[in-house]
Chain A
Amino acid sequence: SQKIEQNSEALNIQEGKTATLTCNYTNYSPAYLQWYRQDPGRGPVFLLLIRENEKEKRKERLKVTFDTTLKQSLFHITASQPADSATYLCALDGDSNYQLIWGAGTKLIIKP
């Protein structure tokens, strides 16, 4: 069955630099992949969705890429700010309808 891998270790980035988070999957290429942000004690917030026929998607300082050959999505935050510190989750469509498979998330820490 499909599995998702996100770096379990926290990522520490200096303010102003670009933060890059990775989401790898193991089996079939999903029809789409989503990224969410989650702050401590809160529910996830949707950020971006990228479909299998899209290589790249942007929203303000955020950029997502989707490489079906590498079975990987990269999530970039440019000009990072301390307010970007959070856990970032990726999710992709699973084997059946209404099923999303979620990564455990990567904690991002932006240091002033």
Chain B
Amino acid sequence: DVKVTQSSRYLVKRTGEKVFLECVQDMDHENMFWYRQDPGLGLRLIYFSYDVKMKEKGDIPEGYSVSREKKERFSLILESASTNQTSMYLCASSLIQNEKLFFGSGTQLSVL
């Protein structure tokens, strides 16, 4: 069974903390994505990567950075967490660009 694993299901952090969200996929996919999902809104793309050490900004990259040192791992970093970054964070991977994305279970992040 193909799998995208996110390191935490729930996370509570304080304002100003540096937060690391980890994502690992076992499908040898080139493409990986970080989205955030807020109630009543569609998924919004934060960053994506189409190859190791490559990264591209999505629609809402401000306040975030990413790292992709190995093909299977894509990390999202909140440099200094703020309350408006409280959200569900979803990692995904795909074989072909934006087609048939496989998602992790998500990390519900609360910033207090």
- On A, residues with C-beta under 8 Å from B are 4, 8, 32, 34, 36, 41-46, 49, 89, 91, 93, 97-105
Chain A's nearest CB lies how many Å from the CB of B41?
6
21 A-B Cβ contacts within 8 A?
A: A8-B40, A41-B9, A41-B106, A41-B108, A42-B105, A43-B92, A44-B90, A46-B100, A46-B101, A49-B100, A89-B43, A91-B42, A93-B98, A98-B31, A98-B45, A98-B48, A98-B58, A98-B98, A99-B98, A100-B101, A102-B42
How many pairs of A and B residues are in contact by the CB < 8 Å rule?
Answer: 63
Contact B45 A99 (CB under 8 A): yes
Contact B106 A43 (CB under 8 A): yes
Q: Does B64 contact A (CB under 8 A)?
A: no
* B90 contacts across to A, CB distance below 8 A: 43-44
Contact A104 B103 (CB under 8 A): no
CB nearest to A42 among chain B residues:
B105
Contact B103 A43 (CB under 8 A): yes
CB nearest to B6 among chain A residues:
A43
- On B, residues with C-beta under 8 Å from A are 4, 9, 31, 33, 40-45, 48, 50, 56, 58-59, 90-92, 97-106, 108
CB nearest to B88 among chain A residues:
A41
* A36 contacts across to B, CB distance below 8 A: 101
Contact B97 A104 (CB under 8 A): no
Q: 17 more A-B contacts (CB under 8 A) besides A43-B4, A46-B101, A100-B98?
A: A41-B9, A42-B106, A43-B104, A44-B43, A44-B90, A44-B103, A49-B100, A89-B43, A91-B43, A97-B98, A98-B58, A99-B59, A100-B43, A100-B45, A102-B42, A102-B43, A104-B40
